[in-house]
Homo-oligomer: A and B are copies of this chain.
Amino acid sequence: MLVDESAATTKQSKEPAMIKDVFKLVEGYPRVPITVDCVIFGFDQNVLKVLLIRSDIEMFRGKWSLLGDFAHDDEELDGAAYRVLQSRTGMEDVYLEQVKTFSNPKRHPGGRVLTVAYCSLLNTEHHALKILDNELHWHAVKNLQKEDMAFDHKEILDTCHAWLQKRMMEHPLGLTLLPEKFSLRELQNLYEGVLDVKLDRRNFRKKFFSMDFLIDTGEYEDDVPHRPGRLYRFDYKKYEHNKRKWTGIEF
């Protein structure tokens, strides 16, 4: 019923033919075009946004597309995603993580193309868009319909959005979406906006203060039409050091 390890080892006598030429082996594999698609989230005006361009493909005229490109020869996919991000937005030092590979053979009208989706988060204030080809701009995530987007990009976006919601409960990822100095109100708006929930203000503060990852800058908001809030920075070093003990945020 179950093959014991020692039993398996003794059967080594009838050894199958070994493959000697690995290059020839790989030659024989079918090949598939690979792209990366970046789902780049930003947070602005208390709304979760995603960076899109107009598709330059005739049959998707007017539809929105994620930033993507095919993978170059001998390029690692993380590198390809980073290249896309940099070349299309001019931004550097950006959080980027692989989320999922989409392989439906019909997902690209020009034939089978695999795509590996990456999720990225950045601060719309501190990262000005330098290149504006193809109407590159921030688009509110909530308003996007499947029909508005090229390829299976709505599905990819939804997958990455769900991924972000989950991940934001486990790691303080979301903080990369905020300016370096932020008020607790902004932080709460971020969590409420991304998770699409309402949270109790006092409990939210308590929760974050008890994590002890916020550094009080001593500064205050400016230009607000009400009492200005304190500004905090996130203590990334402390977080990196303690993250093993940290099991996440729960609301």
Contacts and interface: CB of A to CB of B under 8 A. Distances in A.
A78 B103 contact: yes
Interface in A9-66: 9, 11-12, 16-27, 29-35, 44, 54, 56-59, 61
A78 B58 CA distance: 30
Contacts of A175: none
A178 interface: no
A111 B17 CA distance: 21
Interface stretch (A130-138, A185-193, A225-233): A130-138
A247 to B, nearest CB: 8
Interface stretch (A69-77, A195-203, A234-242): A69-77
A249 to B, nearest CB: 12
A1 to B, nearest CB: 5
Given A30-B73, A101-B116, A104-B76, A110 B22 contact: yes
Interface residues of A, number: 74
Contacts of A4: 137
Nearest to A134: B16
Contacts of A29: 33-35, 70, 113
A110 B32 contact: no
Contacts of A112: 73-74
A141 to B, nearest CB: 13
A133 B12 CA distance: 10
A128 B19 contact: no
Contacts of A100: 98
A12 B25 CA distance: 49
A110 B3 contact: no
A153 B19 CA distance: 18
Interface of A: 1-5, 7-9, 11-12, 16-27, 29-35, 44, 54, 56-59, 61, 70-78, 98, 100-101, 103-105, 108-114, 116, 124-125, 128-129, 132-140, 247, 250
- CB-based closest 10 A-B pairs: A22-B110, A31-B31, A26-B110, A29-B33, A8-B137, A77-B103, A3-B137, A29-B70, A74-B105, A18-B58
